[in-house]
Amino acid sequence: MIGLDYRHVLPFVSEAEIHNIAGRAEEAARKLTAKTGPGNEFLGWLDYPLTIKEKEIDEIIEAGKEIVNSAKVLVVIGIGGSYLGAQAVMDMMSDYFPADKRTQIIFAGNTLSSSYTARLLEYLENKDFSLNVISKSGTTTEPAIAFRLFRQLLRKKYGKEYYKRVYCATTIGKGALYNMARKNGYRLFSIPENIGGRYSVFTPVGLLPLAVSGIDIKELIAGAREAAIRHKSAPYPENEALIYAALRNLLYNKGKLIELLVFYEPKMRFFGEWYKQLFGESEGKENKGIFPASALYTTDLHSLGQYVQEGKRHLFETIVDVANPDLDIAIPAEAEDFDELNYLAGKTLSEVNKKALKGTVLAHVAGEIPNLLITIERLDPYHIGALLYFFMFACGVSGYLLGINPFNQEGVESYKRNMFALLGRKGYEELKKKLEEL
C-alpha cells in the first residue's frame, strides 16, 4: 500500500543501527496503540477510520449535496489542523484547471490578511455562498474574526434565513462556536474531544469540505482504515511507518535536523503544508525535533537545489512519489532537431520525471544527503487516505522515540498571549505594559 525504500539511507545509517532500534520503535508503537504514552487523551484518531459509522459518512455526504445545491461558493473557515488536511486532499484530487461548474471552495480565516479578507468579501457580494466554520476550541482568533465578517455578509444577503447556510464543526458542548450554533440553529458536526486538529482530517473537519468538492470520502476512509489495520499491528521490519519513524530518529541523532519532504507532482505542494504542521507542531518541543520542510522538484531544484547539493549537511530528503500519474504525454520527434531533444522522442514526460528523480537522488546522496523514498500507487482517495494515516501514525511513533508528547501544542499559545495583550484584551493588562516597554 505504502512503499518505503531506504537503500539510499544505508550509506549514513547501518543495517545494525536499524536493527538495534527495533525494540525502541516497537515500544513507541505499543505506547501509542495501548494509549499509555504522554498525550494519550488525544488518540481518538488512531481508531477513527475503523469506527466511524457508515451513517455518519452518509450524513456528511448529504450535507455536502445540500451545500452544492444551494451555493456557488463554500467558504471554509479554519486555521492549522482545521483546514490543512482538507486543502491538501482537495489539491491532490482536483483538476489543475477546474471548470467553473461545481461549488467553488475557498479557504479563509487562516490568515489575518486584510487584503485577502476584504477582497473575498467583495468577491462574494453577488454570489450565493455558504460557510463551513471549523474550530475545535471554538475560540481561535483568526477563524473567529473571519466568521464574524462573513456571517455579517451572509445575514445581509439572506436575512433571518442566513443560519441555514452555516455548517459548523466544533467540540460538542463547549466553546463559543458551539454556543453560537445552538443559539442560532447552525448545522453542527462533532470534532471528537480526543482528536487534535492536525490529526482530524478523517473527521467532519476534513470530510465535509471534501464531500462538497466531490471527493469520494468513503474511499478516503477505506484507505485510512487499511493503513490503520496495517500500521497498528505489523511488526517492525514489515511496518513501513515504524521503519520510517526509526530512520528519522537515527538520522536526527546523526545531526540531520531538517527533513525535506519532496514531491515531483505539483498537486502535492499543499500536502507538504499539511505534513509541516503535523510534524512541526507534534515534534518541535523541549528544544528537540526535526524541522519539517518541503519542496517541489524539479521546480525547486532551480532554487533550493544548490543548497541541498552543497550547503550545510544537516538535512535529509524524503520523497513522496506517485508511481502512476493520472495522465502522460509522449515527447514528439521533429525533423529539424534544433532544440536537440530528439533523443527524448517517444519517451513520455513521466519517464523523464522518473529519471530526474533517480538522477537527483544519486546526486544528493553523493553530496551526503540521505534519501528516503515513499511511494503510493496513484493519487486517488483510497491511496491518499492510506498516505495520510501512514504519516499520522509515523508522527506519533517519532514523537515517542524523541521522548516528547506529540499531541499537545502549548508553544502555540505564546504568540496568542502577546497578540491579545497588544490588542488590549481584558485580563492581559500586565503583559501589555511589559510588552510596550520592549
Which residues form the catalytic set? 281, 302, 416
If binding is defined by CB under 6 A, does position 409 make contact with ligand PA5? Answer: yes
Q: Per CB under 6 A, which region of 196-204, 247-255, 353-361, 368-376 contacts ligand PA5?
A: 196-204
| Minimum gap (Å) between residue 140 Cβ and ligand PA5 | 3
Nearest C-alpha neighbor of 5 from the set 428, 361, 435:
361
Minimal CB distance residue for ligand PA5: 197
Say if residue 98 is exposed, middle or buried (CB neighbours under 10 Å; 0-12, 13-18, 19+): exposed
> Which CB sits closer to ligand PA5, 371 or 405?
405
Q: Binding to ligand PA5 by residue 87, rule CB under 6 A?
A: no
Nearest to 75 by CA among 209, 179, 193: 209
DSSP string, 386-421: HHHHHHHHHHHHHHHHHTS-TT--GGGHHHHHHHHH
Is residue 370 a contact point for ligand PA5 (CB under 6 A)?
Answer: no
Question: 103 vs 135, which CB is nearer to ligand PA5?
Answer: 135
Size of the site for ligand PA5 (CB under 6 A): 14
Min dist CB 244 to ligand PA5, Å, is 21
* Pairing relationship of beta strands 129-134 and 166-170 according to DSSP bridges: parallel
From CA 144, how far away is CA 413, in angstroms rounded?
A: 16
How far is 372 from 32, CA to CA, in rounded Å?
24
Q: Which x/- pattern, by CB under 6 A, does the window 254-283 give for ligand PA5?
A: ---------------------------x--
Q: How far is the CB of 85 from ligand PA5 (least distance, A)?
A: 10
Window 287-306: residues binding ligand PA5 (CB under 6 A): none
Q: Which of 33, 132, 140, 318 binds ligand PA5 (CB under 6 A)?
A: 140
Interface residue with ligand PA5 among 137, 299, 309, 342 (CB under 6 A) is 137
Q: Cis check for the bond before 117: say yes or no (omega within 30 of 0).
A: no
Residue 341, CA distances (Å) to 245, 326, 337, 346, 347 in order: 42, 24, 7, 11, 11
Q: Which is nearer to ligand PA5, 39 or 381 (CB)?
A: 39
How far, in Å, CA of 18 to CA of 36, rounded?
25
Q: Give the shortest CB-282-to-ligand PA5 separation in angstroms.
A: 8
**155 by DSSP, 3-state: which?**
helix
Q: Please tell me the distance from the alpha carbon of residue 93 to that of residue 153, in angstroms, as a whole number.
A: 30
Does 79 bind ligand PA5 (CB under 6 A)? Our answer is: yes
Residue of the chain from 33, 82, 132, 249 that contacts ligand PA5 (CB under 6 A): 82
Least distance from ligand PA5 to the Cβ atom of residue 26, Å = 27
* Among residues 196, 223, 272, 289, the one that binds ligand PA5 under rule CB under 6 A: 196
Residue 204 touches ligand PA5, criterion: CB under 6 A: no
Nearest Cα to Cα of residue 243 among 375, 17, 394 = 394
Radius of gyration in angstroms for the set of CA atoms belonging to the chain, rounded to a whole number: 23
- Kindly state the smallest distance separating residue 135's Cβ from ligand PA5, in Å: 3
Q: Which residues contact 60 (CB under 8 A, 6 or more apart)?
A: 189, 204, 207, 208, 211, 217
Contact positions vs ligand PA5 (CB under 6 A): 79-82, 135-137, 140, 143, 196-198, 281, 409
